[in-house]
């Protein structure tokens, strides 16, 4: 049992004596850690500390910021095994993938900012004006459980690099990697108060953070439902918001595409982290005359993904993060059957041999109607909807026919054609013929998927105000 009954406020670990929140292991359901269900008072103390630290940190030199980020980068590399183990247990991502993604990506992203920062133009000239990019102020960061450290790093690294101070409220479902991060930062030269961590429920500490007048920006990743609440609260005193929210991304397989490669690529993407990925390609759009073949290929790909213990090196599909998430996904699978979709693989029953933990069978539905609930709502589990279309225009209409717009994919034998269709998708990212993930590409959503962008210079600009001096 990992006792984490503490918060990190003003450069110190502050012991918490009150109620705690249990953290469960996804593969067994066992309680593996306890974190504070902190009160509003602790959050206010953290905001006060961040506010007091802001002026000095906003005037810190480039060298001071680079030194801290370099120390953070080394710490993330040193603690990679601890991070992967913690996230594997909490979220259920298989250890091999968790090592590469959940532990590897935070270090990679930190490195991109270390490389970019020295050349970033914090001042530029426009006519007779000097344009200055100034840190926005105290930033409240609120993050989800599915990529728990990655989402935190995408906020705190550019925020600190911009000269902002930060209060982090991590997910109470997968909080351990945030504690490892605080531990690493505690060993760096970061001045006290620049980074603060308060753990607790969204409705209490999260609510205090989004409403406090000293907080000038809220950077949030999570559900569209919570994003709504944050937007409303921020409107009251014109806080800046950056929102990364849900998705229902379409993989558009054009008639001339290599069907085998496109289906494999889509299934692998959809099932990554058991479907607990905001960018998951959960709708596979196929020409109507290739629908049955695509379903067979998808079923064959899914058959190789037997759920298993995420701590085993060979496991490719782990459990879901919580009992609540498992039950929600099973309800959606039952709904798909009730809505008349064809169950091609999987189903609502627990997978064989998985009597403990939060396992769900990888499931494929065929002949899914584009306006049905399983095709419109984010399921956040290993469920793929295969949707037939008659022509390209209809495929684009279906792809754009949800409230979301986070990611997508297009597959075609003709790259130019694939790019043309990609350019018609109302979404923040599109993978063309399986293009590789790029940590320097802007990432974010259209519509109900988000506001603002993360990664690279776009991620840094979110934390900067613009001031112009007329000379
Ligand atoms: P969630 O919205 O329930 O919780 C996210 C965070 O918000 C948690 O820290 C939670 O405690 C906090 N919160 C909840 N209620 C709050 C309130 N009233 N005030 C302030 N804070 C509050 O989301 P989740 O279930 O943790 O994460 C899953 C969701 O995150 C999915 O919808 C997924 O698509 C989305 N997501 C999006 C991205 C992206 O980059 N677009 C990335 C990962 C996850």
Give tens-digit pLDDT for 24-61. 999 999 999 999 999 999 999 999 999 999 999 999 99
User: Domain holding 103: CATH number?
Assistant: 3.40.605.10
In the sheet that holds 123-126, the strands lie side by side as: 123-126, 129-135, 464-470
User: Which atom of ligand 1 is the closest one to the Cα of 145?
Assistant: 26
H-type alpha helices, 242-367: 259-271, 291-303, 323-338
Instruction: State the CB neighbour count (10 A cutoff) for residue 236.
Output: 10
Q: Do 251 and 271 form a contact (C-beta atoms < 8 A)?
A: no
Residue 189, domain extent: 2-246+448-470
Give residue-wise pLDDT tens across range 216-234.
Answer: 999 999 999 999 999 999 9
Token pair 């050349």 in the structure block, residue: 119
Task: Kindly indicate the confidence band of residue 355, based on its pLDDT and cuts at 50, 70 and 90.
Answer: confident
Q: Are 434 and 463 part of one and the same domain?
A: no
Q: Do 196 and 50 form a contact (C-beta atoms < 8 A)?
A: yes
Q: Are 317 and 428 part of one and the same domain?
A: yes
What is the mean predicted confidence (pLDDT) over 207-211?
A: 97
- pLDDT of residue 385 exceeding 90, the answer is yes
- pLDDT of residue 200 exceeding 90, the answer is yes
262 domain residue, yes or no:
yes
Residue 166: C-alpha distances to residues 9, 53, 65, 137, 299 (Å): 11, 10, 14, 9, 46
The vertex-444 CA angle with 281 and 156, nearest 5°, equals 120
- At 406 the pLDDT is 98
201 domain residue, yes or no:
yes
Q: Tell me which H or E stretch contains 149.
A: helix 148-162
Q: Tell me which H or E stretch contains 228.
A: helix 224-236
Tokens of 66: 């680079």
Task: Kindly indicate the confidence band of residue 88, based on its pLDDT and cuts at 50, 70 and 90.
Answer: very high
Give residue-wise pLDDT tens across range 266-285.
Answer: 999 999 999 999 999 999 99
Write the residue with the smallest CA distance to atom 26 of ligand 1: 144
Sequential DSSP letters for 30-96: -EEEEEE---HHHHHHHHHHHHHHHHHHHT--HHHHHHHHHHHHHHHHHTHHHHHHHHHHHH---HH
User: Is 51 touching ligand 1 by the criterion CB < 6 Å?
Assistant: no
- pLDDT of residue 461 exceeding 90, the answer is yes
Q: Are 269 and 314 part of one and the same domain?
A: yes
In our burial notation (b when 16+ CB lie closer than 10 A, e otherwise), range 96-124 reads: bbbbebbbbbbbbbbbbbbebbeeeeeee
Q: Do 279 and 408 form a contact (C-beta atoms < 8 A)?
A: no
Task: Kindly indicate the confidence band of residue 1, based on its pLDDT and cuts at 50, 70 and 90.
Answer: confident
Ligand 1 centroid to residue 148 C-alpha, Å = 10
User: Is 453 touching ligand 1 by the criterion CB < 6 Å?
Assistant: no
Token pair 């709904």 in the structure block, residue: 335
Residue of 91, 145, 226, 455 to mutate, ligand 1, most atoms within 8 A of C-beta: 226
Q: Are 322 and 267 part of one and the same domain?
A: yes
3-state secondary structure of 394: helix
Task: Kindly indicate the confidence band of residue 393, based on its pLDDT and cuts at 50, 70 and 90.
Answer: very high
What is the mean predicted confidence (pLDDT) over 424-443?
A: 97
d(CA 333, CA 223): 20
388 phi, psi to nearest 5 deg: -80, 150
**Average pLDDT in the chain:** 97
Give residue-wise pLDDT tens across range 131-188.
Answer: 999 999 999 999 999 999 999 999 999 999 999 999 999 999 999 999 999 999 999 9
Ligand 1 centroid to residue 142 C-alpha, Å = 8
User: Which atom of ligand 1 is the closest one to the Cα of 144?
Assistant: 26
Task: Kindly indicate the confidence band of residue 3, based on its pLDDT and cuts at 50, 70 and 90.
Answer: confident
Residues with a known catalytic role: 244
Residues 6+ apart with CB under 8 A from 14: 6, 7, 8, 42, 45
443 domain residue, yes or no:
no
Q: Are 83 and 195 part of one and the same domain?
A: yes
Q: Do 381 and 320 form a contact (C-beta atoms < 8 A)?
A: yes
pTM: 0.97
332 domain residue, yes or no:
yes
Task: Kindly indicate the confidence band of residue 107, based on its pLDDT and cuts at 50, 70 and 90.
Answer: very high
Domains identified in the chain, total number: 2
């Amino acid at each position: 049992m990992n006792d984490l009954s503490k918060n990190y406020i003003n450069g110190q670990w502050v012991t918490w004596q009150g109620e705690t929140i249990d953290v469960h292991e996804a593969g067994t359901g066992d309680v593996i850690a306890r974190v504070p269900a902190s009160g509003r008072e602790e959050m206010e103390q953290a905001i006060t500390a961040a506010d007091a630290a802001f002026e000095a940190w906003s005037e810190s030199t480039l060298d001071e910021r680079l030194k801290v980020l370099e120390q953070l980068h080394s710490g993330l590399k040193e603690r990679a095994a601890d991070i992967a183990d913690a996230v594997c247990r909490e979220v259920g991502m298989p250890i091999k993938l968790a090592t590469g993604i959940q532990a590897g990506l935070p270090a990679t992203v930190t490195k991109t900012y270390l490389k970019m920062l020295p050349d970033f133009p914090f001042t530029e000239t426009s006519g007779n004006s000097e344009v200055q990019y100034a840190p926005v102020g105290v930033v409240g960061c609120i993050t989800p459980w599915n990529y728990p450290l990655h989402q935190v790093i995408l906020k705190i690294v550019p925020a600190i690099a911009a000269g902002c101070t930060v209060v982090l409220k991590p997910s109470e479902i997968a909080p351990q990697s945030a504690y490892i991060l605080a531990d690493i930062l505690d060993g760096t030269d970061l001045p006290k108060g620049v980074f603060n961590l308060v753990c607790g429920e969204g409705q209490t500490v999260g609510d205090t953070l989004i409403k406090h007048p000293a907080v000038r920006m809220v950077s949030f990743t999570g559900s569209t439902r919570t994003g709504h609440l944050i937007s409303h609260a921020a409107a009251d005193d014109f806080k800046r918001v950056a929102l990364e929210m849900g998705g229902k991304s379409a993989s558009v397989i054009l008639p001339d595409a290599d069907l085998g490669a496109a289906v494999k690529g889509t299934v692998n993407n959809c099932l990554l982290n058991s479907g607990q990925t905001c960018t998951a390609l959960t709708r596979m759009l196929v020409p109507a005359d290739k629908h049955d073949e695509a379903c067979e290929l998808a079923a064959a790909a899914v058959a190789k993904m037997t759920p298993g213990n995420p701590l085993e090196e060979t496991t490719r599909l782990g459990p879901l993060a919580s009992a609540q998430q498992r039950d929600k996904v099973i309800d959606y699978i039952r709904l798909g059957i009730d809505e008349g979709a064809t169950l091609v693989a999987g189903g609502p029953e627990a997978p064989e041999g998985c009597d403990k933990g939060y396992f769900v069978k990888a499931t494929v539905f065929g002949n899914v109607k584009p306006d049905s609930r399983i095709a419109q709502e984010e399921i956040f589990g290993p469920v793929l909807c295969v949707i037939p279309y008659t022509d390209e225009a209809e495929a684009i209409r279906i792809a754009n026919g949800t409230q979301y717009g986070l990611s997508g994919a297009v597959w075609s034998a003709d790259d130019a054609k694939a790019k043309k269709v990609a350019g018609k998708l109302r979404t923040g990212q599109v993978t063309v013929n399986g293009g590789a993930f790029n940590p320097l590409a802007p990432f974010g959503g259209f519509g109900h998927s988000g506001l603002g962008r993360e990664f690279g210079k776009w991620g840094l600009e979110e934390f900067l105000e613009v001031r112009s001096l007329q000379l």
